[in-house]
Amino acid sequence: MINALGIVNFPNNAVKIKGMSNYRTIAAMSFLGRYRTIDFVLSNMVNSGITNIKVMVREQPRSLVEHLGSGTQYNINPKHGFIDMLYPDHQAVSDAYYHDMYLMNENIEDFKSSKRKYVVISQSYMICTIDYNDVIKAHEESGADITCVYGETKRGKVSFIGCKSPKLDKYGRIYEINNNIGYDTKANILTETYVMKRELFVELIEKSYEISPLFNFIDIIKHHLGTLNVKGYKYEGYLACINTLEEYYRINMEGLNPEVFSQLFRSDWPIYTKTNDSPPAFYSSTGHAKNCLIANGCIIEGDLQNCILGRGVHVEKGSVIKNALLLPNTYVGPYSHIEYAIVDKHARVENKKEIIGTKDNIIYIKRRDRV
């Protein structure tokens, strides 16, 4: 067991997934049919031996609470570990004040009472598989006060927009952190995973309001770049950030690539999620699927190509669906044609027989809508 408290942070206030964020937090969004985005950071923590975990929740907690439950699906023994959810005790004055540092301040007693030596703070909207043991080992060997995990992307012009991009000197020390504005194709991107001693973490929280009550956690780190030894740890694996509707669609569809799928799902690194006791997917004599991920409980009577289906989706006879995400319990009526679309949970496609988007213009069908 690793001697660290895990903290799952939430994205900053500017990050919204158009349409989908009206119904749930990003951490609770469906991913690759049967998972939620938070499953990856929680599985990374548990696989690394972190079993004391705090999940910070800014808003719309219902879907996340239902998904996490008691946390036993993440292979955590409740006698020795836990997944707790942290909420604010008081409402912030405005959205400008309602950021991660505010919530950390509201729950500082939880962090003070922990007996763990380190804290590992990570993000739910960053998709990766990382062993935090390696990060902590590098942190200890470097003598850093704070270690920030970063990855390198070749999609800097079109992805990770608004994410933080660090600059490092030849010794691996971070001396500057800026927003990625899409200027360079190749860019370093912070995964928003940080390792530090718990006492330092508490100290940063206590002093944050003296600096600025509008500062979020990364602002505090940037403020201390000149006074603390902040080192970078380069992560070499698959990295993606779900921070727009377009990226949500692209990253899900990227999971249909066997090379990407094999990086995310390794035999030695299980990704845990909430299980469901529904039957296997059923294919009728008219049902066909090519290059698809189809969850259990689905009924397939139409033709599917390059699609991802959540649990309990029903596609009627004569329907043709290509390059689409159908979230759990959606229904597609007979002889419908859907391309480049996201159909949210419990939506029913009955009357509008053609829903055709493009690769650059993804159509979103709202949750529970009947179209």
pLDDT surpasses 80 at 238: yes
Third-level CATH fold of 4-264: Spore Coat Polysaccharide Biosynthesis Protein SpsA; Chain A (3.90.550)
Burial classification of residue 109, based on how many CB atoms lie within 10 Å of its CB (0-12 exposed, 13-18 middle, 19 or more buried) = exposed
Domain ranges of the chain: 4-264, 282-365
pLDDT at residue 167, as a whole number: 97
User: What pLDDT, on a 0 to 100 scale, did the predictor assign at position 14?
Assistant: 73
Res 275: pLDDT: 87
Confidence of residue 59 (pLDDT cuts 50, 70, 90): confident
CATH superfamily, domain 282-365, is: Hexapeptide repeat proteins (2.160.10.10)
Q: CA dist 125 to 54, 75, 192, 309, 352, Å? A: 16, 21, 10, 20, 33
- With beta carbons less than 8 A apart as the criterion, state whether 33 and 255 touch: no
pLDDT at 95: 84
Query: pLDDT at residue 90 above 80?
Result: no
**pLDDT tens per residue across span 10-55:** 988 778 899 999 999 999 999 999 999 999 999 999 999 999 999 9
| pLDDT above 90 coverage of the chain, percent | 88
> pTM of the full predicted structure?
0.95
pLDDT over 70, % of the chain: 100
Predicted pLDDT of residue 131:
97
| pLDDT above 90: residue 345 | yes
| List of residues 6+ apart from 194 with CB closer than 8 A | 119, 120, 121, 122, 146, 147, 148, 149, 217, 221
What lies within 8 Å, CB to CB, of 284 at 6+ separation is 299, 300, 301, 317
Average pLDDT of the chain is: 95
Mean pLDDT (whole number) for 258-270? 96
What is the number of helices (H) and of strands (E) in the chain? Answer: 9, 26
